[in-house]
Amino acid sequence: MRRSRKVKILATIGPASSEQATLRKLFEAGADVFRINMSHADHELMRTLIGRIRAVEAEVGRPIGILADLQGPKLRVGRFADGKETLAVGQTFILDADPAPGDATRVHLPHPEILASVQPGHRLLIDDGKLELKAVKCDGRSIESVVVAGTSISDRKGVSLPDTDLPVGALTEKDRADLDAALEAGVDWIALSFIQRPEDLVEARQIAKGRALLLSKIEKPQAVARLSEIMELTDALMVARGDLGVEMPPEAVPGIQKQITRAARRAGKPVVVATQMLESMISSPVPTRAEVSDVATAVFEGADAIMLSAESAAGAYPVEAVATMNRIAERVEKDPTYPAIINAQRSTPEATGPDAISFAAREIAETLELSAIVSYTASGATGLRAARERPKVPIIALSPILETARRLSLAWGTHCVVTEDAKDLDDMVDRACRIALHENFGAVGDRIIITAGVPLGTSGATNMLRIASIGADGGGK
């Protein structure tokens, strides 16, 4: 099965989509990667879901990526004597270390790191920003604040700190346990939540030891400010617009989305646009026109993947949501303005042999109107370089390593096929031509361009281009 679009679809699975039959329907509707949200899945459920996804993978004969999304540090206020309180704009409200139930004047904040880090003038956003407090006095044990906006607060509501750099890592004890379990179960990608600085990736990478790639969710202003440093250490990025739109002005998010997607493309690293893309389809079989435009904007921008959250995890129409996103993406990529927009964002290749080869492969393929670019890739690096170029022609990524093919299922335009390593150059050409023919990317007599590293099997050493024609027997000539 080949997709007739190049942007990938990442579907979150949950109560509405956890059965194997539904997972297959989601794949057939267009899902390329499945996301397991560890905020809502225990280890047993995670292993069950992974088993079902791998069973679907075996049924359809295509590599499917799995992303485990770690919860990250969840900051919440304590409880109230009456469960909730009504506040008034302008009143004083205190957050402190006292575990006693709260009232209309104070509440317990069970996070000493916040009490120690917040400074006068910093904002505290409660319940996704529905209540805004501004710190007035801080002594390390309590925060005296004034109510700026909103009038309601209740038990265990989340706290966001857009102005405060917390001296805590991105991994909690729960995250470490979830990470170990996910790696043992064989996931392909690990998403890290609420990272603030590049150092937040170090521990996760030391634990992963190459068993999975890391995706950094950009959802805090501190991460946006240090995006270039985070980019150096991460394998992929996600524009997590939900929390980003709480901690930053909502009107700033579209520009940040463009900034992140373009920076990721320059770096040749996959980028996912997420949150509320087809939100109304949680309860409706059709999206709003604004949601369609939002999805289309991400596709026009050249994002590697677009993501569904509650729409596919808990909504009433999970398969329809994926199918709708698939149709939008296909239509955008056929739009006459799409190639010009994508080409305008292309950046100069790095001064390396592999980057120059990938750049040349795209130029040759488009100039000669070849049927496909076929990239041999063991680590996935060659496939990512080909995707970075955003060619008009399809990319077939051939790898002898199943895990590499699964990881590349998140990368723009890559059709991944698991195949044995070529024995020699003739076998390499024949194998590429046979697969292009078998996967319906070309017909007898069509030409393809092949990139690979010589000597064969050398990771990260792409240094060869070869144009070949598909022969009558399916081999190359």
The predicted-structure confidence for 82-135, as pLDDT tens digits, reads as follows: 999 999 999 999 999 999 999 999 999 999 999 999 999 999 999 999 999 999
Q: In sequence order, what DSSP letters do the residues of 422-437 get, joined into one string?
A: PSSHHHHHHHHHHHHH
What separation, in Å, do the N-terminal and C-terminal C-alpha atoms of the chain show?
A: 26
The residue with tokens 């092949």 is: 450
pLDDT, residue 218, reads 97
Report the C-alpha gap between 224 and 234 in whole angstroms: 14
Decide if pLDDT at 460 tops 70: no
Residue 35 annotated in active site = yes
- DSSP for 203-269, please give it: HHHHHHTTSSEEEEEE-SHHHHHTHHHHHHH-SEEEEEHHHHHHHS-GGGHHHHHHHHHHHHHHHT-
d(CA 353, CA 385): 11
What pLDDT, in 10s, does the model give residues 378-420? 999 999 999 999 999 999 999 999 999 999 999 999 999 999 9
Q: Could you tell me whether strands 372-376 and 236-240 are parallel, antiparallel, or unpaired per DSSP bridges?
A: unpaired
CA 60 centroid distance within chain? 23
- Per annotation, catalytic residue among 217, 220, 269, 385: 217
Which pLDDT score is estimated for 457? Answer: 63
Rounded distance, CA 70 to CA 179, Å? 7
- Say what the pTM is: 0.94
- Assess contact for 468 and 430: CB atoms under 8 A: no
β-sheet bridge partners, residue 93: 145
DSSP for residue 380: S
Query: What is the bridge-based pairing of β-strands 271-274 and 236-240?
Result: parallel
Q: What is the pLDDT of residues 326-363, one digit of tens each?
A: 999 999 999 999 999 999 988 888 888 889 999 999 99
β-pairing verdict for 84-86 and 152-154: antiparallel
Which ranges of 30-139 would DSSP assign to H, the alpha helix?
A: 43-60, 112-117
- Helix 43-60 to helix 20-29 angle, to the nearest 10 degrees? 50
Does 174 qualify as catalytic in the annotation?
no
- For residue 448, the cross-strand partners are 372, 468
Share of the chain above pLDDT 70, in %: 99
Q: Which helix (DSSP H) or strand (DSSP E) does residue 327 occupy? A: helix 318-334
Residue 217 bears catalytic tag: yes
What mean pLDDT is predicted for residues 204-229? 97
Q: 5, 24, 35, 265: which one is catalytic?
A: 35
| Residues in Cβ contact with 340 at an 8 Å cutoff, skipping those fewer than 6 apart | none
- Selecting among 25, 47, 76, 392, the annotated active-site residue is 76
pLDDT band at 459 (very low <50, low <70, confident <90, very high): low
Residue among 164, 275, 377, 451 flagged as catalytic: 275
Per-residue confidence band for 453, with pLDDT thresholds at 50, 70 and 90: confident
Contact assessment for residue 402 and residue 368, using Cβ atoms and an 8 Å cutoff = no
3-class secondary structure, 409: coil
DSSP secondary structure letter of residue 392:
S
Angle subtended at Cα 39 by Cα 37 and Cα 45, rounded to the nearest 5 degrees: 65
Closest to 320 measured CA to CA, from 286, 290, 288, 295: 286
Q: Is 275 a catalytic residue?
A: yes
Those residues with Cβ within 8 angstroms of residue 36's Cβ, 6 or more apart along the chain or in another chain: 12, 13, 46, 49, 50, 66, 67, 68, 69, 182, 187
